[in-house]
A and B are shown apart, each in its own frame.
Chain A
Amino acid sequence: MSRSGILIDYEYCSNCHTCEVICKEELGIPEGKWGIKVFEVGPWNIEGDQWQLTYMPVPTDMCNLCASRTAKGKLPACVHNCYTGVMKYGPVDELSKELEKKPRQVLFVPR
């Protein structure tokens, strides 16, 4: 069976932090540590009216891809609850095909 991963369409991540909080609830991760953490890239002016302001959720080494949820056929907690619905979970080979369809996406394979 193919390895699984999380595809993130980071163009539309609005920095809500739901993934961070729901992950802590799911895995019991305390304050100061994260199973997934959102990083800010920017803001800076590229030129003219063009701005760099991107948010990037990054699964950490504490992410187990919600093994106990996915074993029951559920989605990882971050994917299920994402405020703007930018995350997909699945086999890496399928997700990498999705990657080709649209720029500003990233595929994480945490484990």
Chain B
Amino acid sequence: MGRRDLPVTWEEDGYTVTRTTAWSAPGCHAGCGIVCYVNKDGELEKVEGDRENPFNQGHICPRCAALPDVVNSPERLLHPMKRDPSKRGDPDAWEQVSWDEALDLIYDEFTRISDTYGAYTLQTFCGTGRDILWQSQRLAYAMGTPHVESYSSGLACWMPRLVSYIVGTGDYMMPDCSECHEDRYDNPEFKVPEVIVCWGNNCVSSSSDGFFGDWLVEVMRRGSRLIVVDPRLTWLAARAEIWIQPRPAVDSAIAMAMLKVIIDEDLYDHDFVDRWTYGFDELVARTKEYDFDELCERAWVPAEKVRQAAELFASGRYSAVQLGLSLDMQRNGIGAVRSIISMLTICGDIEQPGGQIFTPTPYDFSYFSWGFDELPEDVQKMVIGYDEYPFIRMGMVLDQPDLAVVQAETEKPYGFKGALMMGTNPMCCMSNADLNRVYPVLKKLEFIAVADWRITPTIQMLADVALPVTMCVEKKGIIAKRTGAFAMSPIVGLKMKGEPKSDAEIALLLGRRFNEKMFPWNDVEELYDFLVKKSGMKWRDIREEHWMYPGQEYRRYETGKLREDGQPGFNTASGRIELYSGFAAKIGENVLPYYDEPYYGPYTTPDLYKEYPVIVMTGTRNIQFFHSEHRDVAKLREIQPDPLVEMNDVWAREQGFRDGDWVWIENKIGRIKHRAKLTPTLRAGMANVNSGWWFPETDPHDDPMYGCWDVNPNVLSELGQQGPTGFGADVKALLCKIYKCEEGEY
């Protein structure tokens, strides 16, 4: 269903108004409904939330509120630019070129590289939250290379959660906050979760992975009881009935301990376990390998609190878990996520109203690795980690980053020679892998093209061609979220400055040059028609209806609607939820949930911990910034002008730190500086640093990195600590020491 009765555009008080979806650029994980006001001069003057849109119901975050400032930014890249590769880092060496010249140059250089060294020496890099996933992936395949990169150690962003769900239940799941119903909270089938756990995320700040933070607040207002698992006292934690404050990166201990309580105290749903699960006895045996008190002690959480949380969780007729990024950002995150999935499963919360629901991509829109299977089999197998870590063949096929950086360094069996980067700024983020190793391997590439909307540290330091991309209000596009599909088109009356093109258009224009068979479409609209064909609609139909919700049914495992063969059950090999994973067994992975310690920590490396006694977390989201974006928007920057390291106030005062002091955060591979923020929200001996920072106000003649090297925690994140599946990296538990900057160091 959509809403064809609502106008796309209208006139109002001298403004031309358009209803659309705000997605990419700038980046965002949500894609909210907005209403845009264009003035008589053709400028986007105001944006407001679309109250008709079921996804956000009129609520917006400050980034959409400030969207006019981004669209009208004087920093916009207006034309394609080229620069001699020998002049990388020189802000005066850019030369404006036409689109044809820029695209031909990319084609010629990549073709030269392909002819000289082999197509497999080419890479594409994709960011996140931008409309660049299928683009960067299909383009790579069109060029004949399987190498799609995000130099993000352990692919520690969403992928560990995704594969854990696929292995256990057959598909990705989210808590049911009515998000899949077009009529939302009014839907007669929907019930609010009796208990909801917000685990390892602060979703009101991040709205990540398609989960809009306000939904959690709304179910709280409607009576959901809240448990929060977070090493920081977040705003949500302060409102939780139970807040568990674990040592960072040992969520697998908490999850195993809770699972143990539910089993030992017989709090689970026997009927569901009997009928719909596989491997329960093995799961019980696994929990018996651990001692409850020891698990809690290891997590530094009072055992009684963990017990209460488990009992509260199991008491809900239906309970749900909003699982966050922190679970990915620890090497044993998969062990934790599989324990949590087991808790949800044995308590009978799966596919129930107000429980944990499957949220497949609507209408089967193919977004991930679109075209990978069109590569010859031997080329498919060149994906780095294909043999070592078979999990990476699931979900989205990316190179395993820790191995890929090593291959790039050693050039064994071969190195890389050219890269196309779309919507990514790996000098600042999306490469949570030792920047001192990532920068050199990028620098030695013979040719790099980057598509973005402004000059970033990555473009200034590395690009030979920079392609200007459009904003969300300037392009045709679609976002298929895990709730519904939402389309966008250029807002009416807007006078676009310069000649930016959308990422889809860039992909099409380049794709046609490289491989017309894989890009047979004449324009972006034809391409989108193809992409949405399984819905039985055209792209324009969806645009005119604004959004399309496939709708949500519950307990589909009873009706056969989860499986292609129409049989009751789940979309797994056994047809049941696999507490014990036969698939994992086949590929030599841990078959059951588990607890394990971080790579470095008080128990694993006590000597190192003595020297670096502060456990530092990174990756916390601030709502006013999306990753490395938005530091150049004055209205957003004034909310937080500098990167902050949060430290326990009592502890920090003992060290002689005051609020606002610049301090160094140093570990065994590097150091960064942040301003101190003293707060009781963290335990003594723990700290939280910001990610994604750079200083767009910097004169690039002084520093083409725009100060990012000094503040970027990727300088501290070591490669090669990935979890046993190739997924997960301990960026939530960096062992560091903190000391004041000397005068002149800030």
Contacts and interface: CB of A to CB of B under 8 A. Distances in A.
Interface of A: 11-12, 14-18, 20-22, 24-26, 31-32, 42-45, 49, 51-53, 55, 72, 77, 80-85
Given A31-B634, A45-B680, A12 B217 contact: yes
Nearest to A16: B623
A15 B205 CA distance: 9
A51 B238 contact: yes
A18 B680 contact: no
Interface of B: 13, 46-49, 51, 57-62, 65-66, 68-69, 204-205, 213-214, 217-218, 220-221, 233, 235-239, 242-243, 623-624, 634-636, 638-639, 679-681
A20 B62 CA distance: 8
Contact of B48 (A45, A72, A81): A81
B634 A22 contact: no
A12 B62 CA distance: 17
Contacts of B214: 83-85
28 contacts: A11-B239, A14-B235, A15-B235, A16-B61, A16-B62, A16-B204, A21-B66, A21-B635, A22-B48, A24-B635, A25-B69, A42-B238, A43-B233, A43-B680, A51-B238, A53-B681, A77-B48, A80-B48, A80-B51, A81-B49, A81-B65, A83-B59, A83-B60, A84-B213, A84-B214, A85-B57, A85-B59, A85-B214
Contacts of A53: 233, 235, 238, 681
Contacts of A77: 48
A55 B623 CA distance: 15
B244 to A, nearest CB: 11
Contacts, number: 102
Nearest to B237: A51
Contacts of B61: 16, 18, 83
Contacts of B221: 12
B235 A17 contact: no
Contacts of A85: 57-59, 214, 218
Contact of A43 (B62, B205, B238): B238
B65 A25 contact: yes
Contacts of A12: 217, 220-221
A77 B220 CA distance: 25
Nearest to B47: A25
Given A14-B235, A32-B638, A53-B235, A84 B59 contact: yes
A29 to B, nearest CB: 9
| Top 8 closest pairs, chain A to chain B, by CB | A53-B238, A21-B65, A22-B65, A14-B204, A21-B62, A51-B238, A84-B217, A17-B62
Given A31-B635, A84-B59, A84-B214, A25 B66 contact: yes
Contacts of A72: 13
Given A22-B48, A31-B638, A85-B59, A14 B66 contact: no
Given A20-B635, A72-B13, 20 more contacts: A11-B239, A14-B204, A14-B205, A14-B217, A14-B235, A16-B623, A18-B59, A18-B65, A20-B62, A21-B624, A21-B635, A25-B47, A25-B69, A43-B233, A51-B233, A80-B51, A81-B58, A84-B204, A84-B217, A85-B59
Given A22-B65, A31-B634, A51-B238, A14 B59 contact: no
A99 to B, nearest CB: 16
A65 to B, nearest CB: 16
A77 B48 CA distance: 8
Nearest to A79: B58
A49 B57 CA distance: 34
Nearest to A24: B635
B86 to A, nearest CB: 40
B46 A21 contact: no
A25 to B, nearest CB: 6
Contacts of B59: 18, 81-85
Nearest to B236: A14
A49 B243 contact: yes
A25 B623 contact: no
Contacts of B243: 49, 51
B230 to A, nearest CB: 12
A18 B60 contact: yes
B588 to A, nearest CB: 43
A23 B645 CA distance: 29
Contacts of A11: 239
Contacts of A21: 62, 65-66, 624, 635-636
Contacts of B636: 21
B623 A17 contact: yes
Contacts of B13: 72
Contacts of A26: 46
Contacts of B236: 14
Contact of B62 (A18, A52, A55): A18
Contacts of B623: 16-17, 83
Contacts of A22: 48, 60, 62, 65
A104 B206 CA distance: 25
Q: Which of A24, A25, A55, A77: most chain B Cβ within 10 A?
A: A25
Nearest to B12: A72
A35 to B, nearest CB: 12
A31 B633 CA distance: 10
Nearest to A82: B59
B202 to A, nearest CB: 9
A35 B632 CA distance: 22
A45 B648 CA distance: 13
Contacts of B48: 22, 77, 80-81
Contacts of B634: 31
A77 B68 CA distance: 15
A82 B624 CA distance: 14
A21 to B, nearest CB: 4
B68 to A, nearest CB: 6
B49 A80 contact: yes
A45 B62 CA distance: 29
Contacts of A43: 233, 238, 679-681
Among A12, A17, A45, the one with the most B-chain Cβ atoms within 10 Å of its Cβ is A17
B68 A25 contact: yes
Nearest to A40: B235
Nearest to A42: B238
A55 B235 CA distance: 9
Contacts of B51: 80
A93 to B, nearest CB: 24
Nearest to B207: A83
B496 to A, nearest CB: 20
Contacts of B638: 31-32
B65 A14 contact: no
Contacts of A81: 48-49, 58-60, 65
A58 B257 CA distance: 43
A17 B639 contact: yes
Contacts of A31: 634-635, 638
A51 to B, nearest CB: 4
Contacts of B213: 14, 83-84
A20 B66 CA distance: 10
Nearest to A14: B204
B71 to A, nearest CB: 12
A24 B68 CA distance: 12
